[in-house]
Structure 1
Amino acid sequence: MDEYTPEALVNRQEPIPVFSTPKPRQQSGSPASLHSRSSSQSKSSLQDRLFAKLLQQVIPHDDEDETDSSGDKAFSTSPKRPAFSLPTMTNNFRRFNARIGVVFLFQNRVERLLSWKKPTHTLSLLFVYSFICLDPHLLLVLPVVVLLLFIMVPAFVARHPPPPTTSTSSTTPYYSYDGPALAPARTIRPAPETSKDFFRNMRDLQNCMADFSDIHDATIAVFAPLTNFSNEKLSSTIFLGCTIATVVLFISAHLLPLRLVLLAGGNAAILSSHPTIRQFFQDIVHDVGVGTPELGSPVSEDVPGVSVPATPSAAMSAMESLADISVDSDPEEREVEIFEVQHRAPGTSESGWENFIFSPLPYDPLSPSRIAGDRPRGCRFFEDVRPPYGWAWKSKKWELDLDCREWVVERMITGVGFEIPGVTAEGNAITDEVGGWVWDLPPSPLSREDDEEITTLAYGDLQPEVPTPQSKGGSISKNTDKEKPSARDWEEAAPASYGIGEWRRRRWVRVVQRMSLPPPEVVTYSTLGHG
């Protein structure tokens, strides 16, 4: 195994990772056996093929018409992107791991720069950052300077190395920039799979995944209780504070000295990581007495002299003194309805109504259940009516809806008659009732032609024709002595002209409110109305 590859960018600041295997015999899918193969191999082994076939049987296939949440086709169905395959995954991981060293090398150098390993480098960073904060136009110069100093100058020095020093001379290396190049150009190449640099990349990739997982879990643990309204009072306080801050910043953001804020904040953050300054603040915290909180006092030691809550409950207790928010709003209210359906046997008097059922539907002549010949469904008594699932009764009793015209017109129900306030239906048995009834109209006893004519007059589409003394052939019209019906409202004329059918119903309403914890599922006969 090669010690290192000169042309590969790898983080070599940490020791070589040590592998521990539970069994002396390595499996075919272990990291050592996976990376012992050469990258030039194009054919997969028999084990990889068998395992790929097994995965194809376990993992469901993507449908061709699979769409995402936005309605577009999923990216996995694109013919340019290969489907999941174990040999492809293994090959891509080897390629990725051989080339990811530049990222870990950059990360390691940034950590060394911010940890004051070399104070001169960190101070240089502070000066550069300060100049950029004072004059943001220098950001346009920064990429070009990085290209010149960190990429092109080292590449030129690599092609013009100093002459080799002898054992007798103790002079410093002398770079000669005259004449032809003495060394080949440096090219960044991926780390070979048989080198130690490849396993260094695996080590750094493993630790990077662990760091990301820890940061992700810590972020969720801190911000989720504050923003997911599990504690509604705390989340409402934060929401109110963010709303006020948004409005204030939207108006006064242009007045803030952003250059000075970034200059002071960035320098303070970098200087606070210096070991001497960090020890200085720790001594101050220890002297003030905030170093170690007592048992049961959720106080953190991040800010000296200030008690910072360490848990969401403690933060809520601290924020209650700043804002008193009432989140106990009134629950949502709706109006439910139930229809009292009564039936009258054919041939009986119009006062012989019998209570039939309480149904969530009016059972009108054109309802699907009535056309299909089904009986109305519901319960026999008011006490058996239950509120919808997740709701509870607010009002104590049902109220009768006397304005039946509104819900009949709203549902566009035809073939029924109903009471109009201020109008008495003479000659019928409904004059002494409480009110709110909507009854069916029986079939018309008139002929078809007369029925069509009266219907036309009732809806007011056409005017009645004036009878003529003679017809077209000279005969007397049949309707000469027949009195034309007056163009009254159809609902008013219906009871007096046609009587009452076998079914009638009236509407009862009651107010319900949503429950915070829904009760167990029960059978309900009432439906939500417009409330």
Structure 2
Amino acid sequence: MEESTPDAIVNRDEPIPVVSVSQHHDSKKPHSPRPTGHKRTPSAIGRSLQDRLFTSLLEQVIPTDNVNDDTVFAGKKPVADKRPGFSLPVMANNFRRFNARIGVVFHFQLQAERVLSWKKSSHTFSFLVIYSFICLDPHLLVILPIAGFLLFVMVPAFLARHPPPPSTSTSSITPYYSYQGPALAPAKTIEPASETSKDFFRNMRDLQNVMADFSDIHDATVDVFAPLTNFSNEKLSSSVFLLCMVITALMSMTAHLLPWRYLLLVGGNAAILSSHPRLVELFKVISVDLAGDTALADIAQKEKPVADALGLPSSPSTAMSLLGSLADISLDTYSEEREVEMFEIQYRSLAPYSESSWDHFLFSPMPYDPLSPFRIAGERPKGCRFFEDVQPPRGWAFKSKKWELDLDCREWVVERMITGVGFEVAGEAGAGGSGSDEIGGWVWDLPTTALASDEVGVAAALGYPDLPKGYGKKTQKLGKRGVSQDWEEKGGMGSNVMGEWRRRRWVRVVHRISMPAESEKEHTDDEQDR
């Protein structure tokens, strides 16, 4: 393995990582050790077979239609994405390229950690001086990138082209740089680390540690902020929401009055100075002295009557409990209420010479009207057999004790713009009503020969043009024979004006309930799976 790659920027200050490889051998087969110094390289055919096998296994788990979907939408027109889909060889190749060039990022990270951790006090103080000047005069922030480009990119590149001449004497004279004359050395370029060098493994080590640090920070952030923002504790999240609203309102009116330059100056210097090793030790000593000092407790005991008289908290714990009582807001005790509906569907046979009566079919959330997608697709209605099997929606519970029958069937039929049906009207002999007050809220299908001729246009407008053959011709012939197409004028509830299906609507009141955290998580997982 090569020691390093020339002209590659990597973190060489930490030791080279040790790679441990665990080999699993078959206990039944004898294992002969390889000779020392033999370097075995996998063949191209074996590696290709392994990649193909692993890719085929992943295709069984990962939905390839979503992973390899190369179509993106820009506006209304689909645009083909030229980037390759998921592939293990491509991913491995890109990882090698990325790892060979990521050293500059880790080098910058190391230098920043050195400056902020007071490894060299002169560098840290210089950084504080520059930071202070920028806080006092923010216009210098525009000059800083250009100055850094000149000092850290252009000057080193020029010095690499004009190195000092080699020393030929034995004296301790410092070599000097010559800024005149032609260039004495080739231009220096940043090259990626070779895959057989230690720099490549240094980058892998730093990349591994960065991924672990990011995962730890992500998990810690979620553990801290998730309970405050996901309303698992509604009182706490509501308090945070109100506090953010108050701060937003106050900052919108007073933000221009705050001395942001001096706040950033003092805050930044205090944060960096507080990380000085000597100051850290001093703070520890002071905290130990304060913890063991009984004089402070005596002073607090003497000042307690004064704090009680002024109404101020006498201790930090009392202050925190007072803030907690202020944040203990009262949520709305009246949960949201809504009305759910369920349709009782009945069926009868219209076979010739059949005198079958109406039979209960099931309870369905849809009325299964003549233009229902299930009817047009030739599918049966979906639902449950008994009332006891009907469950409220997730997150809701039944408030009323029983289902109530909706006798005003005209309202929900008109709201849904359902056609091709007849319904009962109390006290009227129209619309298929019987003229009596004893009605059951039924809405039945009209026979195919009695449907209005505009049903074809309605079905086509709804996107269902595939109606039975001769559908429109039957209705036209029916109108020519003088039969009235206005079925509301016929009245009566005979078998000649009723189709195979009828339904009526049941309603019940539900109210929202609080779901446990486990149920919410299961519901979220189910939604993601769907």
Give the Cα separation in 2 of the matches to 1:228 and 1:317: 24
Higher relative contact order (CA 8 A, sep 6+): 1
Task: Tell me the CA shift for residue 110 of structure 1.
Answer: 0.9
SS class of match (1:199) = helix
Question: What amino acid sits opposite 1:511 in the alignment?
Answer: V
Name the larger-Rg structure. Answer: 1
Question: What amino acid sits opposite 2:248 in the alignment?
Answer: T
Question: What amino acid sits opposite 1:128 in the alignment?
Answer: I
Correspondence for 2:508 = 510
2:263 aligned with 1:261: yes
Correspondence for 2:454 = none
8 Å contact from structure 2 (residues 392, 398) kept in 1: no
Question: What amino acid sits opposite 1:19 in the alignment?
Answer: V
Correspondence for 1:145 = 147
- 1:102-181 equivalences under 5 Å are 102-158=104-160, 159-161=162-164, 164=167, 166-167=169-170, 169-181=171-183
Question: Deviation string for 1:280-314 (max 9, x for gaps)?
Answer: 222233233399xxxxxxxxxxxxx9979xxxxxx
- 1:310-459 equivalences under 5 Å are 319-326=324-331, 330-338=335-343, 386-388=390-392, 390=394, 391-411=396-416, 412-414=418-420, 416=422, 418-419=424-425, 430-431=435-436, 433=438, 452=482
- 1:41-52 equivalences under 5 Å are 45-52=44-51
SS class of match (2:7) = coil
Question: What amino acid sits opposite 1:155 in the alignment?
Answer: A
Task: Tell me the CA shift for residue 77 of structure 1.
Answer: 7.9
Superposition RMSD on alpha carbons, in Å? 5.3
- 1:202-221 equivalences under 5 Å are 202-221=204-223
Give the Cα separation in 2 of the matches to 1:5 and 1:289: 55
Question: Runs of 5+ in structure 1 lacking a partner?
Answer: 27-31, 38-42, 292-304, 309-314, 346-352, 459-489, 521-531
8 Å contact from structure 1 (residues 441, 494) kept in 2: no
Change (3 A) 1:137 1:453: same
Correspondence for 1:192 = 194
8 Å contact from structure 1 (residues 401, 508) kept in 2: yes
Question: What amino acid sits opposite 1:409 in the alignment?
Answer: V
**Which TM-score applies when normalising by structure 1?**
0.64
SS class of match (2:240) = helix
8 Å contact from structure 2 (residues 340, 509) kept in 1: yes
8 Å contact from structure 2 (residues 9, 103) kept in 1: yes
Give the Cα separation in 2 of the matches to 1:450 and 1:82: 63
- 1:25-104 equivalences under 5 Å are 45-60=44-59, 62-63=64-65, 67=69, 78-81=81-84, 84-86=87-89, 88-104=90-106
8 Å contact from structure 2 (residues 441, 504) kept in 1: yes
Give the Cα separation in 2 of the matches to 1:376 and 1:5: 72
Task: Tell me the CA shift for residue 111 of structure 1.
Answer: 0.8
Q: More helix per residue: 1 or 2? A: 2
Give the Cα separation in 2 of the matches to 1:364 and 1:184: 84
Give the Cα separation in 1 of the matches to 2:380 and 2:188: 90
Give the Cα separation in 2 of the matches to 1:157 and 1:328: 75
Give the Cα separation in 2 of the matches to 1:372 and 1:416: 22
- 1:16-31 equivalences under 5 Å are 16-22=16-22
Q: Percent identity, please.
A: 51
Give the Cα separation in 2 of the matches to 1:71 and 1:141: 41
Question: Runs of 5+ in structure 2 lacking a partner?
Answer: 26-30, 32-36, 294-313, 351-356, 451-476, 520-530
SS class of match (1:419) = coil
- 1:479-498 equivalences under 5 Å are 494-495=490-491
Question: What amino acid sits opposite 1:215 in the alignment?
Answer: I
Change (3 A) 1:331 1:289: farther
Change (3 A) 1:418 1:271: same
8 Å contact from structure 1 (residues 2, 194) kept in 2: yes
Change (3 A) 1:69 1:401: farther
Task: Tell me the CA shift for residue 126 of structure 1.
Answer: 0.9
Correspondence for 2:281 = 279
Task: Tell me the CA shift for residue 453 of structure 1.
Answer: 7.5
Question: What amino acid sits opposite 2:87 in the alignment?
Answer: F
Change (3 A) 1:394 1:514: same
Question: What amino acid sits opposite 1:12 in the alignment?
Answer: R
Give the Cα separation in 1 of the matches to 2:378 and 2:49: 62
Change (3 A) 1:356 1:115: closer
**Which TM-score applies when normalising by structure 2?**
0.64
Aligned residues: 440
